[in-house]
């Protein structure tokens, strides 16, 4: 009953502060916000900067802004690249999800950070969330949150492998008894896929396309493993020699070719994790399989690629995009049930 009364005064949020998307989970409500981590900033004639748009609205402006507006992605490789803009973005998101709950003065946040982030980077994320209006902030590593959100029973004395492919980083972790036995974080993710497509198009077609177009190509026909069906997409880019927009058609095999480099980086990280996993846990992983989470898991046949490369079953978690945020939400529940947490730093 006490908890029920206390909840009337508290906003409990779990934030997956991702390079590509920021997701906010509100306790008892679920995922209430899933918006791109993009901020549009307007500069006036005196040089003063003002936030013009945040999230979906700002992403629509990406690459289409006049000179006095710039679109910024404040996170790169899973960590904060622009502290002030990140803070503004978080302020906007927190205000958006807590709108109409003015009677709840306290905001507690669980925020997820990449496993490979440094202490300085973690502190920056923590302070940024605090300055955005959170009274209390807990930081949790993404692989743990992803495993929790996927529904993996991480408390058992059995090994589970999670591969969380986000926008900026990919985390590979072997988890047992509520702890990370081995983890590897590589700075390869959806952004690198987009960049690889942009550079492939430039190289092969002598055309220039924007990041938004590259992302659209990836989502629509991107694949990680050669399939039976070859899909095509019409793309408009600027011809580098002629300097005028031109149409051209790309197919899924080309995208597969373009993505080879970042994909091999992820596969290498998974193989390395398997090599370094203790044999008992390795056998558990071989029996149960590798679980893919994160937006990158939605790339077609990525599970097949990793499965073929490792010889292990690879499964995609339900709703992989929201696993980390949902996992953070489970941590919030734990905070109430028992305050028995071990801290790392």
Q: Rank residues 122 and 218 by Cβ distance to another protein and give the closer one.
A: 122
325 makes contact with another protein (CB under 8 A) = no
3-state class (DSSP) for residue 102: coil
Smallest distance from another protein to CB 109, Å: 11
**What is each CA distance from 166 to 17, 200, 273, 309, in whole angstroms?**
10, 21, 18, 20
User: What's the Rg (C-alpha) of the chain?
Assistant: 21
Question: Has 310 been labeled as part of a binding site?
Answer: no
Gap between the Cα atoms of 45 and 36, Å rounded:
28
Any known ligand binding at 295? yes
CA 18, CA 113: separation in Å to the nearest integer? Answer: 9
* Residue where the block lists tokens 């009953």: 1
Asked if 232 is part of the footprint of another protein (rule: CB under 8 A), the reply reads no
26 lies in the binding site for another protein (CB under 8 A): no
Q: Which of 30, 63, 153, 278 binds another protein (CB under 8 A)?
A: 153
Using CB under 8 A, pick the residue from 174, 269, 314, 321 that binds another protein: 314
Write the CA distances from 271 to 138, 172, 280, 296, integer angstroms.
Answer: 31, 10, 16, 18
DSSP, collapsed to helix, strand or coil, labels residue 40 as strand
**CB contact set of 255 (below 8 Å; sequence gap of 6+):** 197, 200, 217, 218, 221, 222, 223
Closest contact distance (angstroms) between CB of 311 and another protein is 6
Smallest distance, another protein to C-beta of residue 64, A = 37
> To 10 degrees, the CA torsion angle through 70, 55, 144, 290?
-90
Residue 67 found at the interface with another protein (CB under 8 A): no
Q: Is 307 in the site for another protein (CB under 8 A)?
A: yes
Three-state secondary-structure class, residue 271: helix
Binding range to another protein, per CB under 8 A, among 25-33, 85-93, 259-267, 315-323: 315-323
- For another protein, the binding residue among 154, 198, 235, 299 (CB under 8 A) is 154
Q: CB under 8 A: which stretch of 18-26, 146-154, 237-245, 266-274 binds another protein? A: 146-154
| Contact between residue 114 and residue 19 where contact means Cβ atoms under 8 Å apart | no
Return d(Cα 101, Cα 95) in angstroms, integer.
Answer: 10
| Cβ–Cβ under 8 Å, residues 97 and 32 | yes
Instruction: Work out whether 274 is an interface residue with another protein (CB under 8 A).
Output: no
User: Annotation-wise, does 166 bind a ligand?
Assistant: no
Under rule CB under 8 A, residue 9 binds another protein: yes
Binding residue (CB under 8 A) for another protein from 29, 232, 280, 318? 318
Q: Is 302 in the site for another protein (CB under 8 A)?
A: no
Q: Is 237 annotated as a binding residue?
A: no
Residues 6+ apart with CB under 8 A from 107: 10, 11, 13, 94, 98, 133, 134, 135, 136
Closest distance between another protein and the C-beta of residue 164, in Å?
14
> Could you give the string, one character per residue 83-122, with x where binding to another protein holds by CB under 8 A and - elsewhere?
----------------------xx-x----x--------x
Helix (H, G, I), strand (E, B) or coil at 336: helix
308 is in an annotated binding site: no
- Residues in the site for another protein, rule: CB under 8 A? 2, 5-6, 9-10, 105-106, 108, 113, 122, 126, 135-141, 144, 148, 150-155, 178-179, 287-289, 291, 303, 307, 311-318, 330-331, 333-335, 337-345
Annotated binding site for ATP: 19-21, 167-169, 215-218, 295-298
- Residue ranges at the known binding site: 19-21, 167-169, 215-218, 295-298
């Amino acid at each position: 009953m006490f908890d029920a009364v206390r909840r009337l005064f508290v906003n409990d949020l779990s934030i997956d502060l991702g390079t590509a998307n920021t997701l906010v989970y509100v306790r008892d409500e679920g995922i209430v916000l899933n918006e791109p981590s993009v901020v549009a900033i307007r500069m006036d004639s005196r040089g003063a900067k003002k936030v013009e748009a945040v999230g979906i609205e700002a992403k629509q402006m990406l690459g289409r802004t006049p000179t006095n507006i710039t679109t910024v992605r404040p996170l790169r490789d899973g960590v904060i690249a622009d502290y002030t803009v990140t803070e503004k973005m978080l302020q906007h998101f927190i205000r958006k999800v807590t709108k109409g709950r003015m009677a709840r003065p306290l905001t507690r946040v669980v925020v997820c950070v990449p496993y490979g982030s440094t202490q300085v980077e973690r502190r920056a994320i923590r302070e940024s969330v605090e300055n955005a209006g959170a009274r209390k902030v807990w930081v949790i590593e993404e692989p743990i949150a992803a495993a929790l959100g996927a529904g993996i029973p991480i408390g058992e004395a059995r090994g589970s492998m999670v591969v969380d492919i986000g926008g900026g980083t990919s985390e590979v972790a072997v988890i047992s008894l509520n702890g990370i036995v081995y983890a590897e974080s590589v700075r390869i993710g959806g952004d690198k896929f987009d960049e690889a497509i942009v550079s492939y198009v430039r190289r092969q077609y002598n055309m220039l396309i924007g990041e938004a177009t590259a992302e659209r190509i990836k989502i629509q026909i991107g694949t990680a493993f050669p399939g039976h069906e070859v899909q095509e997409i019409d793309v408009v880019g600027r011809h580098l020699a002629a300097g005028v927009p031109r149409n051209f058609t790309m197919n899924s095999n080309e995208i597969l070719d373009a993505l080879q480099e970042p994909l091999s980086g992820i596969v290498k990280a998974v193989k390395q994790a398997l090599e370094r996993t203790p044999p008992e846990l390795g056998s558990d992983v071989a029996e149960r399989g590798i679980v893919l989470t994160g937006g990158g898991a939605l790339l077609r046949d990525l599970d097949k690629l990793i499965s073929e490369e490792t010889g292990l079953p690879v499964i995609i978690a339900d709703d992989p995009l929201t696993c980390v945020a949902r996992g953070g939400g489970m941590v919030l529940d734990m905070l109430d049930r028992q305050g028995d947490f071990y801290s790392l730093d």
